[in-house]
Amino acid sequence: MSAPLIMKFGGSSVADAACMRAVAALVQRYLPSSPLVVLSAMGKTTDALFRAARMASQGQLEEATEAHAALMQRHESAARDLIGGTLPEDLRAALATHSQELLTVLTGLSMVRELSLRSMDSVASHGERLSTLLFSHYLRACGLDVTLLDARRVICTDAKSGAATPQPRAIAKLAEELVRPHLGPGKVVVTQGYIGATVDGMTTTLGRGGSDYSAALLGAALHASEVQIWTDVEGVLTCDPRIVPDAQPIAELSFAEAAELAAFGAKVLHPATIQPAVEAAIPVTVRHTLKPDGRFSTIRGDVKSGRAITALATRGPVAVVTVTSSRMLDQSGFLARLFEIFGRYSISVDLVATAEVSVSVTIENDVDTDKALEEIRAFASANVVRERAIVALVGEQLRRTPGVAARAFTALRGTNIEMISMGANEINLSLVLAQRDAPDALRRLHAELLEGGA
């Protein structure tokens, strides 16, 4: 059997009936390639589900019930728009089952007045399950041979609610048993992104943005020919187009570059998407749903672009913690002691820069640092500044290209750069500056390094 094609569509691509029709047209175009379609929830559905769950757990059952009714009405309206006329009995029954199941969970939350991550996973799973229910019925109405597969039967995870860890070996076995028999030219398999289950059937999720991860996991398990990520931009761009309107799609980039860009704020890809495809040597393409014949990006593990700078990314706001002590001089164990404190308080450190008597690290902006800094101040001075941003310059040949850093700093003359970190993998130069200065810094760097044949 030929290798299947994985087609993943995000929330904006299935936001309403019109969007779903466009997606269906794309799926029909790729029918000869044995498509496995992975869908996110309809746009903003997951946020609405989270709000309803929070309201219910706070005792606001009436408000949660109203939100539930609005959500179900939105999906029923989309179904009527897609199918036209009276809904088939099996679809009406499935929608009613979803509605009752969700209402039961919300009622339970209002009684216990507690919202666990396990309950959040159960509530959130309805978004993808509803979108795939509607879409698969529409494809059948179009005359296609469609199998709707519950992803929880295949995406096996551990029991960590809210951000479960997939089990690749189990997924590969289940995919061969439950998915492979339904694949083939002219056939379509539709399943959910983002959700999975433990071996004993407890619903889990892969974390926000995890639908990309689902697609890559299924691609690796089934030895797919390609994993297509369909979104609302023409590929991975050289910068955020909302900040730099002249940003352009990158035709081809390496997995390392894509992963680094994703980790430092590029919104197109979920960082964890990359790894399963890397290990299985499967190309990932990022395409625009409404411009299927437009430009797109291909991400491969064996690409050698030769570019000093491939793209820019930014993440923020972040906070910078600086610890200073003369005890750092010629003293082993100082950094170990420092990072042990960070670890004990679950403070995740990103960038690190050291000097003779000080070390600076970036952390999430909203992390409570009071207790950690109190401990650190027993043996060093420490302070934290917030509302900073990381601007990352990413390129395969960055470190090996003379003059790139000089051009970057020249472009940023007059901007106060508070911290500099060169990535350990040699393809990332990260600069920390005030959050308010980041947009202008990106525009100036893009003009200097990525425009006009730079």
Q: What is the pLDDT of residues 62-92, one digit of tens each?
A: 999 999 999 999 999 999 999 987 899 999 9
Contact 370, 418 (CB under 8 A): no
Strand partners, 428: 394
What is the rounded distance in angstroms from the CA atom of residue 3 to the CA atom of residue 188?
A: 13
The two tokens of residue 452 are: 């006009």
Q: Does an H or E element contain 311, and which? A: strand 311-324
User: How many helices (H) does the chain have, and how many strands (E)?
Assistant: 13, 16
3-state SS, residue 149:
strand
Q: Of the candidates 318, 354, 317, 356, which has an alpha carbon nearest to the alpha carbon of residue 339?
A: 354
For the chain, the distance separating the N- and C-terminal CA atoms, rounded to the nearest angstrom, is 46
225 pLDDT above the threshold of 80: yes
The domains located in the chain, with CATH, are 5-231 (3.40.1160.10), 311-449 (3.30.2130.10)
Comparing 10-24, 197-211, 291-305, 409-423, which segment has the lowest mean pLDDT? 291-305
CA distances from 183 to 7, 222, 225 (A): 13, 10, 13
Comparing 179-188, 268-277, 387-396, 432-441, which segment has the lowest mean pLDDT? 268-277
Residue 286 neighbours by CB under 8 Å, 6+ apart: 229, 231, 233, 235, 236, 268, 269, 296, 297, 299
Contact 34, 184 (CB under 8 A): yes
Q: Does an H or E element contain 211, and which? A: helix 210-221
Comparing 6-10, 186-190, 198-202, 352-356, which segment has the lowest mean pLDDT? 352-356
Report pLDDT for 243.
94
Q: Provide mean pLDDT across the span 364-387.
A: 93
Tell me the residue length of the chain.
454
pLDDT tens figures, 137-150: 999 999 999 999 99
411-418: list long-range contacts, CB under 8 Å, 24+ apart: 411/444, 411/445, 411/447, 411/448, 411/449, 412/441, 412/444, 412/445, 415/440, 415/441, 415/444, 418/320, 418/385, 418/388
The owner of tokens 């190309």 is 283
454 pLDDT above the threshold of 50: no
Q: Of the candidates 292, 415, 429, 284, which has an alpha carbon nearest to the alpha carbon of residue 351?
A: 429
Q: Where are the alpha helices (DSSP H) in 168-208?
A: 168-174
